[in-house]
Structure 1
């Protein structure tokens, strides 16, 4: 069943047209017109979110859990329409969107169960000791409380799981924070139909209509206004380093700075250790190529750089990877802008004089195909720009002199979302040299796998030192994500009937 967007903002339960319009740029099919968000639209949405917070922030965990589950149900009720509009707008295959929809509804239900369990509240109680010497101790109780209205930016590469009802929205709503989403212009119709699902859940569960709003925009005005609005207490963002850093700086220049939880960029290096390389270099090379080119390389965990000791094993890896990548033809990227930025980034890095071209694509327009280059460890160390992310299927093989040079390169790398070790039993000594460095460089360390594919679970960490994210202590995936939108409050000698329900 086809879905035709009406193109309006959702603000406090009402669909509003706004004062201007912009056209979508779908991968296939006709374009649609969407309302162009302004600072006034953002103010209306945030003001409504602040009003909603006084009831929603104090609502029971059960009520919020039921709301999250209702959103999941309403998304599933629109499954075919979501797949239709999502595929037309992004060019993503139907199977990918169906899987991402399942992840979206799954994480909504995961957070529902998480808040029902209540462990995230971190409740603490130090009972009064009136007779303690030399002085009495007061009664102290501590609990996590919601921050207030939260701004969320939709992501280009995940139109469902990281956008309108994605992980940032789900975790903020679970925490008790109303949400204002600034939709991504690459998939505004997908954002609209998901917002329809959220509105239906608001109505069926009796929530304040200000608990969720969606502002559409293809300019910077709405996003800037959202970050700078004095009633917004935190921001969730997934996107480019350049855009995220600009918004992060805005958040910190406010009269009252707020936390900006941005996931910005990562090359996710893969270290192939000597015994593993000798035993299965070709196998690892083929698998790496599959991970690199998956989804046209448009995953934040795309493993863009691999390091292996120079020699026969490196030659086998290079040959196998190039063979696998050469069989991957041009594919549609998420937007024309992303495709152009990919080619620009590739050309910048491939201009390094001592970089050897192994495979270069000739795709144009909105399409891209894998590009594969090779260098040595000394060149990599001398050219820091080779460690920068190129968002797309760009692979760089670094043939190092040995484990010591791997350790040196790891120490000079920027922060990462992930680092991967391919190792056999005899490599544990080398891995032990790398582990203390990788622990400081990445939020997730993998053995004998590839980082594309992020499990939504209690123990997942999807974040890392800058520039992977703006706060290395938090994650945007998994139940720990709820902690971003909470803060601890201590109650000293407060009568029980005045305490939050969860502390009584």
Structure 2
């Protein structure tokens, strides 16, 4: 179904050859270069993409919710029509298994449809109306009406570990388009062919719906150089990013050094602690199996992978460690996304190996190819962990650290010393409820999503999900990059005072032609 991959950027509806040379994608399982080569844009070409997005903004923001919803539905249909091509190419570029990519393709199209439902419901307008009260004493009240409006063109950066759901038509793009914002998407060079096929799907939907071609632009370029210029471009009004802390902070600082700073919603770094309380060890075998699966699934390359597990000392905890060690000792390495990611993981785990008071509790064997390192789990005690900041560092890949503690009271100070996290998990039984209740307020201070039972890998896309957290999990812990609340990142509130009905925007009219929810004088 897809057009042939050309290795070109998409600017204002046209496929453009870059002027700054080219790079190749690689198959991480074989280290073989993939064809075609990907041409990289120069600065002036990037400026054409942002100018196209700016040109598209006026007409795109004027579309009705139903028109934008129909567009998002069409994008989902176009992606699904290209499903086989997408999965075939993504498998080559990422080394991820077909089953994982099949699920991720469905997640990508489903979240587009979810935002279409949000638009049809109209709750994203967040309408509040305080009607005039001319008889109020001692002073009359004016008529005030509030809604949310789109910010303008948004820059989105593709993630390395999700070639679909956090990439070309992923959550940041879907929420920005739903908000009424054109998108300039900076593709990740680790999966360029996949990005281009999905961009073909979006472009087809733009043509089908008769939208301005600048509503979506796909750009390839040297990572840091083109990224810095994109974030600094005066036409860009917000940024969505998923990646490393180094990359996220570079973008954040660039955005704040602009003459007019813009919001950056960067998801960066987390170790997602798991707090195992004594009652959970009654079934230590199932607990060990579940933890192992969460740490090693997708080669440990999930931003919600549990990198720390706090475990009681004693025989029950020892039994858990023995069972967990067996899982790791019998494991084999899976191909990681890129050589750079595999090398960074090896550096991080070697650093942990060299720390005093840390031991290897279990380790598997390497897989095929040099980019499939052996999964490993470490163990240490609470005093060692609290005295060494190195032990909290993220190891992006199939590794984790078990920390032994003596009592739940000790965890309060530990939690207070942890950095911001995307998730935190309690594994506990009813006999532990009092301890969970005492720890919960402290965990709320550091995490965006808190689980009771289960494992943090696997993020439900829905209305109540929060995929965010305090720094450094994200640069803005007040919002989320997954779920329908994400649309608010690319909007801002505007109040209209004393406007006649004929001049009021549709969502705040008394006639309410879009039939959106309205909070009228404080009541729905």
TM over 0.5: yes
Range 195-204 or range 131-140, more displaced:
131-140
Range 382-391 or range 451-460, more displaced:
382-391
Match of 1:21 in 2: 22
Q: Is the 8 A contact 2:329 2:365 kept in 1?
A: no
Match of 1:349 in 2: 352
Deviation at 1:287, TM superposition (A): 1.2
Match of 2:203 in 1: 199
CA RMSD of aligned residues (A): 1.4
Range 311-320 or range 129-138, more displaced:
129-138
Distance in 2 between residues matched to 1:244 and 1:157, nearest whole Å: 15
Q: Is the 8 A contact 1:282 1:319 kept in 2?
A: no
Q: 2:140 aligns with which of 136, 140, 143?
A: 136
SS at match of 1:332: coil
Deviation at 1:408, TM superposition (A): 1.9
Alignment of 1:60-71 (within 5 A): 60-71=64-75
Q: Is the 8 A contact 1:293 1:325 kept in 2?
A: no
Q: 2:391 aligns with which of 386, 390, 394?
A: 386
Deviation at 1:196, TM superposition (A): 0.2
**2:189 aligned with 1:185:** yes
TM-score normalised by the chain length of structure 1: 0.97
Q: Is the 8 A contact 1:461 1:474 kept in 2?
A: yes
Match of 1:241 in 2: 245
Q: Is the 8 A contact 2:2 2:82 kept in 1?
A: no
**2:43 aligned with 1:39:** yes
Deviation at 1:217, TM superposition (A): 2.2
SS at match of 1:25: strand
Match of 1:503 in 2: 508
Deviation at 1:328, TM superposition (A): 2.0
Q: Is the 8 A contact 1:56 1:177 kept in 2?
A: yes
Question: Residue deviations 1:6-64, cap 9 Å, x none?
Answer: 10000010000011211212235652211112322221111111111101012100000
Distance in 2 between residues matched to 1:417 and 1:40, nearest whole Å: 37
Deviation at 1:496, TM superposition (A): 2.7
Match of 1:336 in 2: 339
Distance in 1 between residues matched to 2:413 and 2:148, nearest whole Å: 41
Distance in 2 between residues matched to 1:500 and 1:343, nearest whole Å: 56
Distance in 2 between residues matched to 1:82 and 1:25, nearest whole Å: 16
Match of 1:421 in 2: 426
Alignment of 1:361-400 (within 5 A): 363=366, 365-400=370-405
**2:151 aligned with 1:150:** no
Q: Is the 8 A contact 1:419 1:445 kept in 2?
A: yes
Q: 1:53 aligns with which of 54, 57, 76?
A: 57
Alignment of 1:441-460 (within 5 A): 441-460=446-465
Deviation at 1:2, TM superposition (A): 9.3
Deviation at 1:4, TM superposition (A): 4.9
Q: Is the 8 A contact 1:147 1:485 kept in 2?
A: yes
**2:259 aligned with 1:255:** yes
Q: Is the 8 A contact 1:215 1:222 kept in 2?
A: no
Alignment of 1:82-161 (within 5 A): 82-161=86-165
Distance in 2 between residues matched to 1:4 and 1:339, nearest whole Å: 30
Question: Residue deviations 1:231-263, cap 9 Å, x none?
Answer: 111000000111111111111111111100010
**2:312 aligned with 1:302:** no
SS at match of 1:24: strand
SS at match of 1:231: coil
Deviation at 1:491, TM superposition (A): 0.5
Alignment of 1:223-302 (within 5 A): 223-277=227-281, 279-302=282-305
Range 127-136 or range 359-368, more displaced:
359-368
Match of 1:11 in 2: 11
Distance in 1 between residues matched to 2:146 and 2:175, nearest whole Å: 21
Deviation at 1:365, TM superposition (A): 2.3
Unpaired runs of 5+ residues, structure 1, are: none
Distance in 1 between residues matched to 2:130 and 2:223, nearest whole Å: 51
Match of 1:311 in 2: 314
SS at match of 2:51: helix
Distance in 2 between residues matched to 1:213 and 1:456, nearest whole Å: 25
Distance in 2 between residues matched to 1:152 and 1:80, nearest whole Å: 25
**2:77 aligned with 1:76:** no
Q: 1:487 aligns with which of 481, 488, 492?
A: 492
Distance in 2 between residues matched to 1:318 and 1:272, nearest whole Å: 12
Deviation at 1:362, TM superposition (A): 6.0
Distance in 2 between residues matched to 1:491 and 1:39, nearest whole Å: 40
Distance in 2 between residues matched to 1:55 and 1:390, nearest whole Å: 45
Alignment of 1:168-183 (within 5 A): 168-183=172-187
Deviation at 1:281, TM superposition (A): 2.3
Runs of 4+ more than 6 Å apart: none
SS at match of 2:38: strand
Range 442-451 or range 364-373, more displaced:
364-373
Deviation at 1:341, TM superposition (A): 0.5
SS at match of 2:309: strand
SS at match of 2:272: coil
Q: 1:3 to 1:295 in 2, by over 3 A?
A: farther
Q: 1:3 to 1:362 in 2, by over 3 A?
A: farther
Q: Is the 8 A contact 2:289 2:324 kept in 1?
A: yes
Distance in 1 between residues matched to 2:71 and 2:287, nearest whole Å: 44
Deviation at 1:318, TM superposition (A): 0.7
Count of paired positions: 503
SS at match of 1:151: strand
Q: Is the 8 A contact 2:24 2:33 kept in 1?
A: no
Unpaired runs of 5+ residues, structure 2, are: 510-524
**2:442 aligned with 1:437:** yes
Distance in 2 between residues matched to 1:371 and 1:264, nearest whole Å: 23
Deviation at 1:358, TM superposition (A): 1.8
SS at match of 2:448: strand
Distance in 2 between residues matched to 1:41 and 1:503, nearest whole Å: 40
